[in-house]
Amino acid sequence: MTKQVNNPLHGITLETILSRLVDHFGWQELGERIDIRCFTSEPSIKSSLKFLRKTPWARRKVEALYLLMTHND
């Protein structure tokens, strides 16, 4: 098994990332920071995960915000 030393997201699920972002920012601010409908119109973890798994550009934005949030903490 190879380790991904240079990947700070290795071992962290998308659900964990999204849950931590929602806990930190709340849905409203998350929707303001990343303007995607699944965050602004009746948001839920389940619907957001479904969208993010199908949409690479949105997932990259969520991961980047998570890295920024964890770096600043």
29-43 tens-digit pLDDT: 999 999 999 999 999
Pick left, alpha or beta for residue 7 (phi over 0 → left; psi -120 to 50 → alpha; otherwise beta): beta
Q: What whole-number distance in Å separates Cα of residue 60 and Cα of residue 64?
A: 6
The per-residue pLDDT for 5 is 67
Identify the burial level of 66 via C-beta atoms within 10 angstroms of its C-beta, where 0-12 means exposed, 13-18 middle and 19 or more buried: buried
| Structural domains of the chain in order of their starting residue, each with its CATH number | 16-72 (1.10.720.30)
Q: For 45-69, what is the mean pLDDT?
A: 96
Q: What is the pTM of this model?
A: 0.87
In the predicted structure, residue 1 carries a pLDDT above the cut 60: no
Q: For 12-39, what is the mean pLDDT?
A: 95
